[in-house]
Structure 1
Amino acid sequence: MFKFGPNLIPETQIFYKSTYCFGLVNLKPIVAGHVLVVSKRLVTRFNDLTAEEAVDMMLSTKKISAIIEKQYQGSSLTFAMQDGPEAGQTVPHVHMHIIPRRKGDYANNDDIYEDLDQRNKHKKGPDNEERTPRSAAEMKEEADFLRVFFNNDE
């Protein structure tokens, strides 16, 4: 089990591991292939990471994003890190969103940031309480699919 803020994440939802971070599938993805890169050490803010942890997170993001873009037929990527509650961070643990993008997936490109903001409760978006979380089986299936692309020998 890994911790993601107050949440315990089962190994079945993890598809990538490095020395200082892990990749996990998203409970409520905005689009197919929306995944997270999370620091193994539970720290709230990006600047709380050590230099080694920050470098590992960025290099892991680079490695994971190449696979995500290809496997989910993206033509671009959105990277998002909401660093602190005023920035929209709802899980108090450093993490990077990797979201594959395609031409026309959002009429207004920046609307994706509204979908990332859980506090935007009036909008019927992916993190809204009206959105049904994926099942453990669905998340396991996606993690199993992605895991084959990575050497997870920490």
Structure 2
Amino acid sequence: MILRHSELKVLVKIFTPVVRSPSVQISRRSFFTNICFASSRGLRTFSTTITRSCEMESEAYTFGPYKIDLKEVFYSTSLSYAMVNLRPLLPGHVLVCPRREVKRFADLTPDETCDLWLTAQKIGSQLEKYHKASSLTLAIQDGPQAGQTVPHVHIHILPRKGGDFEKNDEIYDAIDVKEKELAQKLDLDKDRKDRTLDEMSQEAEAYRALFA
């Protein structure tokens, strides 16, 4: 993304009162940092990377070495996308990923980091209401020793209700188990044992309507 100097000057004026800094660097990095900061304080965001789900590009999506069917993707920006889960732990369990294949969280660019979390925030808020939940679990397994089996950064989003797990922390063990199963089942050339593509497509279609 390239911004004209005049556009940057306008954005600096918008965000300078928010960050309360004597000087704001006119740079791509500080622009997105300010957007993230403003969002955390409940202000309107001006990210030009975010697009409506109905404008998702027709290109293929990948999740590590795996190809993802477009029918499974229900929300997309120029930097991130959200897809339904092959083997969800709870209703509404979805994944938000950077579009670029990035193995570790630290390898994301500032733009990707900001967009990923803004996307997760938006998705989580809508799915919590849709599933009549009262809380959210957002989890990242960053690296093999943390339980990551697909080498592509992704955020697990799970709408939560009282009593959905006997002990609340059990959900993290369950995520770890599902992560291992996911890596074994993701190849589209293999048979799906838990959910068919049609089932996942129907769920994704329902979620797309939330962002239309």
Listed as ranges, the gaps of 5+ residues in structure 1 are none
> Is residue 99 of structure 2 the alignment partner of residue 43 of structure 1?
no
> Is residue 89 of structure 2 the alignment partner of residue 30 of structure 1?
yes
Could you tell me how far apart the structure 2 residues matched to 1:73 and 1:141 are?
Answer: 19
What is the match of residue 61 of structure 1? 120
Shift of 1:127: 5.7
What are the equivalent positions in structure 2 for 1:97-108 lying under 5 Å apart? 97-108=156-167
Aligned in 2, Cα 1:128/1:49: closer, same or farther, shift over 3 Å?
Answer: closer
**Residue type of the alignment partner of 1:24:** M
SS at match of 1:70: helix
Aligned in 2, Cα 1:87/1:142: closer, same or farther, shift over 3 Å?
Answer: same
Shift of 1:118: 2.8
Aligned in 2, Cα 1:120/1:17: closer, same or farther, shift over 3 Å?
Answer: closer
Aligned in 2, Cα 1:57/1:23: closer, same or farther, shift over 3 Å?
Answer: same
> Is residue 207 of structure 2 the alignment partner of residue 146 of structure 1?
yes
Aligned in 2, Cα 1:67/1:4: closer, same or farther, shift over 3 Å?
Answer: same
1:21–1:57 CA contact under 8 A, matched in 2: yes
Aligned in 2, Cα 1:120/1:142: closer, same or farther, shift over 3 Å?
Answer: closer
1:88–1:119 CA contact under 8 A, matched in 2: no
Listed as ranges, the gaps of 5+ residues in structure 2 are 1-59, 185-191
2:149–2:183 CA contact under 8 A, matched in 1: no
Please report the RMSD computed on the Cα atoms of aligned residues, expressed in angstroms: 2.1
Structure 1 residue ranges (4+ consecutive) displaced by more than 3 angstroms after TM superposition: 126-129
Q: Which has the higher helix share?
A: 2
Could you tell me how far apart the structure 1 residues matched to 2:65 and 2:81 are?
Answer: 16
What is the match of residue 84 of structure 1? 143
Could you tell me how far apart the structure 2 residues matched to 1:119 and 1:84 are?
Answer: 16
Percent identity, aligned pairs only? 46
TM-score, normalised to structure 2's length?
0.65
Find the structure with the greater CA-based Rg. Answer: 2
Shift of 1:132: 3.6
Shift of 1:119: 8.2
Shift of 1:149: 1.5
Shift of 1:72: 0.9
**Residue type of the alignment partner of 1:4:** F
TM-score, normalised to structure 1's length?
0.89
